[in-house]
Amino acid sequence: MSDHEQPPLPPTSRLSGDALPPVEQHAQQYETVRNAHETELIEDYVELIGDLLRHRGEARAADIASRMAVSQATVSKMIRRLNELGLVTSRPYRSLFLTEEGHKMAETSRARHDIVLHFLRALGVRDTTARIDAEGMEHHVSDETLAIMQRFTEKHQS
């Protein structure tokens, strides 16, 4: 076998499925995942804007870019999207502001984030790891699971 050839794939098991789903179903699955990722990103931006406003009194695109490790062009594109969705207002060369709907989303996102973070810490996860893990997990936990995480944390903090 040459360096460029790939070994043959092992046969799929019956548990993993024998065939690809129909095109429409497969496309719908990928579209659902893409939409979920976009929602996560929107929530992360709104949460960060809320945090910056609360802790620093302003939320500037440059601060968002540095904290999210993205370019200012990426932030500008997302700010336009957030503006279209009615979550932020902005003026050139000025701070961003959350609309009422943006404030609600920021508060909900922050609360979810904090519950997951405190839960992971209560389990004994190191702070740095807990912060990284909470950033992704907060978007994928049901309200029922969040409530159980919160009860567990309250019980184990006393």
| Start-end of CATH 1.10.10.10 domains in the chain | 24-98
Cα–Cα distance for residue pair 127/82, rounded to 1 Å: 30
pLDDT in tens, 50-98: 999 999 999 999 999 999 999 999 999 999 999 999 999 987 778 899 9
Under CATH, what is the fold of the domain 24-98?
Arc Repressor Mutant, subunit A (1.10.10)
Question: Does residue 100 have a pLDDT over 70?
Answer: yes
| Start-end of CATH 1.10.60.10 domains in the chain | 103-157
Q: What is the pTM of this model?
A: 0.76
